[in-house]
Structure 1
Amino acid sequence: MGLGNRILSLASTFLYALLSDRVVLIDQMENFASLMCEPFPNTTWTLPLDFPITNIGSFDGKHPSSYGNLVKTKKIRNDGVDDPFSGHPPPSFVYLHLTGGYTSEDTNFFCEPDQLVLREVHWLLMRSDEYFVPLLEAVFHHLCRYLFHPSNEVWGMITRYYESYLAPAGETLGIQIRVFDEKQSPFDVVLRQVINCTLTQKLLPGIDLSHPAAVADRRKTKAILITSLYSGYLQHIRTMYWEHPAAGGVLVSVHQPSHEGWQNTGNKTHDMKAWAEINLLGFADVLVTSAQSTFGYVGQALGGVKPWILLKPENGAVPEPACVRDISMEPCFHSVPPYVCKEKKNGDNSRVVPHVIHCIDTPWGIKLVNQTV
């Protein structure tokens, strides 16, 4: 599970704790203290090391104390009976398995009658890799800014890079590139897609082929911040503006803090760089992000901007259009369960309540929008 997924799920858990009048504690995640400060003064939100329930990290959907299994075996009744625990006291804890691939019994967690049952349970242990938040568009924006403050070490990385490369520019364009399938999205296709998107939408200036010695106007400066596991995009875009002047006299600079080559979540240095780059994306005036990337979701939330989304290529071809403007800054809930609650609502989660629609980058997902559809 990447850093973006962890941030999304933790924000969701925090909001759930607020809404259900609970205290949230987080398991001692590896390297977490080196990435972020404690959000609450004079206390900690990390689970004590002597917590009596051990091996929480090994819990999965098959655990006998998972809510799905307790419902399936009728040890907990969620059908509106007066005694959901069949004469027994509530269990000391219930494990909530809310990751992709969960069962229909697990997804009863999202139903109101089940929430009434869970109120009786003192300890809820939750595992998630999703943004499952069902105030509107700015929910995650405010949660991120409230909860997730970079550690001093990471903040130093952020400020040094920003002041050195981005602050002098009049405008910053952030381009976040995430490739999930290199066969469907080969390098040259993604490169052409990025250039097509940024030039067509006038996010970047074109190149001037008529005046090879044109002098740039130093009052017109634009910095491009690229975040990617690979350096090839940086090299090609930088070369494009080195070999030819930018149209309109714009002075373009291209920067990329790191190019790790592969995702190495759990490695302290790798995670620190990732967290720093997510925050740097939040400083951009305009953002271009990759479809379905949680890394991009967190960056757009920190910046409070609606990004241009690079749609996923199919069959090794540049999509048409290459990118589209998102309708809100909210992340997308990817692993949406079928609507299993008693009301049914035609089985479409995007039609259950106002302000929730299907995502542009993930048609089967749902997200919050600041409009009624």
Structure 2
Amino acid sequence: MDSARATKGERDLPEAEKRRPTGLGTVTAIFLLSLPLLILLFLFGDRAVVSIAGNSLVWQRAGVQSSGNTSSSPVNAHHDLLLGGLLSPDFDAATCLSRYEASKRWKTPSPFLVSPYLVQKLRQYESNHRRCGLGTANYREAMAQLTSGRNGDRAECRYVGLFCEPFPGTSWILPPDFPYKDGFWVGSSDSYLHMLENNVVRYDDSGGGGDANALPPYVYFHLEQIQLRLQNHTFCEEDHRVLDRFNWMVLRSDSYFAVALFLMPMYRAQLDLMFPAKASVFHHLGRYLLRPGNRAWGIVERFYDGYLAGADERLGIQVRLAPFLPLTFEVMYEQITRCTREHGLLPQVTDTSEPGARPSNGTAAKVKAVLVVSLKPEYYDKLHSVYYTNATATGEVVTVYQPSHDQDQHSEARAHNERALAEIFLLSYCDRLVTTGFSTFGYVAHSLAGLRPWLLMLPDRTTQRAAVACVRPASVEPCLHSPPSLVCRAEQDLDLVVHLPFMRHCEDVDSGGGLKLFD
């Protein structure tokens, strides 16, 4: 995300800005990939990171300098600048305004305590990155090794592809002269599976498996969902021991695979120390790692302060139609209103000829702001019309807002994705959330907030109606829609939920599928 300083604009956004398009795909894909990979780096040891975003490697210059200020005086009772120790105090705040400002708008503190061990691992990794990041002698040595076509034994620093700029005093974004930027796909010759199938790497201690110098200069690790199931040989312990011998790794994924790391006994002890509350993984690492740049943060600030801040209560409604299950507006709107009615999330309205109830003590009516986030404008239009035209039976004043909309997704457009990122954070600042099941966009928003949302269930394909409008999930963690194939283990056909107390099937995946972390 852009790190340029954003100028302060008017509090009220112009109408054209309020209704501009938003993108969902690229931003959430980066979010879901970034967090589990950071965990993987903790577990692999001294491995620094450079950036891969979406389907291409990218370079972006972002200057960061140390402020030397280690104080953290909260602005209000809930404004913990360093998020319980997750964030380093060693940034110049102006380079990324959201880093220390975002917590002002979360209404309540985090529901999860931060593990001291997790904080220790974060500071340790930041130190590793300062030793190995761009411009260091270690990085220049590693680049010379990479371009020579050899892996290099006993290297001090090792590297893997990712996206973001979270570490003080260094960068993890690829420079423009990085030699390998194209041609990565599931069947490419430098993929780990291809190497394994062609005996380039082996599990034993001979050949490529034993001598690090005999390995190729880098390995490509492909973790995209294939027919809604992650590949074989990606979450087996013997494979991770081989992968750990490479100094450079390029990874592509569209899945939140942190759940799968908890299936591996070799990592369990450290993960337990970092995350004693299993449902806190995305919540803590998301707040640590995923920081809107100043352009995107400017959208958040202006919209929140201009439309949402003054409300007594904020309800976020996120609507995402799954491509594999197209639904009409009428069907989806009925399900949304059924959910909000059954759970008391929105007040009922009176007939237009009847006045609403009034507070008996002479106080002002309670104001509830509804934030609608959708590619489509119809949901906002309908809800706005209902509460503009009719009084509520409770006397509440309901205001409805939609920051942007577009009929289609345009994840190739940077401004489009910045608005999507802003809307994820705006949703996370709501007090209660209604999100669409199976939507990664919704997962990120409610996980950042630490809120269990009301999940809109996928309707029956035949009747086009959900028997239950919405349910509250067991935890705030995102769902891994396609559990990994565990061909390396005898228990591959067992139901992991039965054997692991911290696993649950996802509420929004058909036939009890998917996996999520749970306490």
Please show how residues 1-373 of structure 1 align to structure 2 within 5 Å: 1-21=25-45, 22-27=47-52, 38-55=165-182, 58-78=183-203, 81-83=204-206, 85=208, 89-101=214-226, 106-134=231-259, 135=275, 136-181=278-323, 184-209=326-351, 212-214=354-356, 217=359, 218-313=364-459, 314-315=461-462, 317-351=464-498, 353-362=500-509, 363-370=512-519
Matched residue type, 2:280: A
TM-score, with length taken from structure 1:
0.91
In the alignment, is the contact (CA less than 8 A) between 2:58 and 2:174 conserved in 1?
Answer: no
C-alpha distance in structure 2 between counterparts of 1:104 and 1:247, whole Å: 48
C-alpha distance in structure 2 between counterparts of 1:163 and 1:30, whole Å: 33
TM-score, with length taken from structure 2:
0.66
Per the alignment, residue 16 of structure 2 pairs with: none
SS for the counterpart of 2:382 is helix
Deviation at 1:15, TM superposition (A): 1.5
In the alignment, is the contact (CA less than 8 A) between 1:216 and 1:251 conserved in 2?
Answer: no
Question: Larger deviation: 133-142 or 22-31?
Answer: 22-31
Question: Larger deviation: 309-318 or 93-102?
Answer: 309-318
SS for the counterpart of 1:189 is helix
Question: Larger deviation: 13-22 or 166-175?
Answer: 13-22
Cα deviations by residue, 1:41-94 (Å, 9 ceiling, x for unpaired) = 221111222223231xx311101121111222232223xx33362666232211
Deviation at 1:150, TM superposition (A): 1.1
SS for the counterpart of 1:360 is coil
Per the alignment, residue 157 of structure 2 pairs with: none
C-alpha distance in structure 2 between counterparts of 1:67 and 1:183, whole Å: 34
In the alignment, is the contact (CA less than 8 A) between 1:97 and 1:127 conserved in 2?
Answer: yes
SS for the counterpart of 1:110 is coil
C-alpha distance in structure 2 between counterparts of 1:361 and 1:83, whole Å: 46
In the alignment, is the contact (CA less than 8 A) between 1:278 and 1:299 conserved in 2?
Answer: yes
C-alpha distance in structure 2 between counterparts of 1:261 and 1:122, whole Å: 44
Matched residue type, 2:469: A
Deviation at 1:105, TM superposition (A): 9.6
In the alignment, is the contact (CA less than 8 A) between 1:104 and 1:340 conserved in 2?
Answer: no
* Cα distance change on mapping 1:32 and 1:139 into 2, 3 Å: farther
* Cα distance change on mapping 1:87 and 1:221 into 2, 3 Å: closer
Deviation at 1:318, TM superposition (A): 2.4
C-alpha distance in structure 2 between counterparts of 1:155 and 1:200, whole Å: 35
Query: How many equivalent pairs are there?
Result: 366
In the alignment, is the contact (CA less than 8 A) between 2:440 and 2:478 conserved in 1?
Answer: yes
Deviation at 1:269, TM superposition (A): 1.6
* Cα distance change on mapping 1:226 and 1:106 into 2, 3 Å: same
SS for the counterpart of 2:399 is strand
C-alpha distance in structure 1 between counterparts of 2:227 and 2:336, whole Å: 35
Matched residue type, 2:417: D
SS for the counterpart of 1:172 is strand
In the alignment, is the contact (CA less than 8 A) between 1:98 and 1:107 conserved in 2?
Answer: no
In the alignment, is the contact (CA less than 8 A) between 2:52 and 2:58 conserved in 1?
Answer: no
In the alignment, is the contact (CA less than 8 A) between 2:221 and 2:250 conserved in 1?
Answer: yes
C-alpha distance in structure 1 between counterparts of 2:498 and 2:191, whole Å: 28
* Cα distance change on mapping 1:240 and 1:86 into 2, 3 Å: closer
C-alpha distance in structure 2 between counterparts of 1:104 and 1:360, whole Å: 18
Matched residue type, 2:171: T
C-alpha distance in structure 2 between counterparts of 1:199 and 1:31, whole Å: 48
The alignment yields a C-alpha RMSD, in angstroms, of: 2.5
Deviation at 1:353, TM superposition (A): 3.4
Deviation at 1:351, TM superposition (A): 4.4
C-alpha distance in structure 1 between counterparts of 2:349 and 2:398, whole Å: 11
Matched residue type, 1:271: N
SS for the counterpart of 1:248 is coil
C-alpha distance in structure 2 between counterparts of 1:238 and 1:210, whole Å: 15
Question: Larger deviation: 291-300 or 87-96?
Answer: 87-96
Q: What fraction of aligned residue pairs are identical, expressed as a percent?
A: 36
Matched residue type, 1:20: F
Deviation at 1:337, TM superposition (A): 2.6
Deviation at 1:349, TM superposition (A): 4.2
C-alpha distance in structure 2 between counterparts of 1:270 and 1:365, whole Å: 30
SS for the counterpart of 2:404 is coil
Unaligned residue ranges in structure 2 (runs of 5+): 1-24, 63-95, 99-163, 260-274
Unaligned residue ranges in structure 1 (runs of 5+): none
C-alpha distance in structure 2 between counterparts of 1:168 and 1:287, whole Å: 18
Matched residue type, 1:85: G
